Amino acid sequence: MARNDGGSATAGYGNRIKTARLGVNKTRQQLADAVGVQYATIARYEREINPPHDGVAVAIARVTRTTAAWLLLGE
């Protein structure tokens, strides 16, 4: 399910990841723990330094009840 609460499709993937994370009331550390990456990795995704690879995007989508397509592409 794609989110529609301020995470515009035109916003970058970092903003969508942050919007999704906040939508499920998780800290960066909680999301990192849930998907099996480091806190700094989530921070880099949200700041758009590095995009998540497909497997991590799917894991983030599962935890945040969104889709990988929405997180990465805004679709």
Q: What angle do CA 5, 9, 15 make, to 5 degrees?
A: 70
Average of per-residue pLDDT across 56-60: 98
pTM of the model: 0.84
CB 28 within 8 A of CB 43: yes
Per residue in 6-48, pLDDT tens?
445 558 999 999 999 999 999 999 999 999 999 999 999 999 9
Distance CA 7, CA 19 (A): 6
Domains of the chain: 13-73 (1.10.260.40)
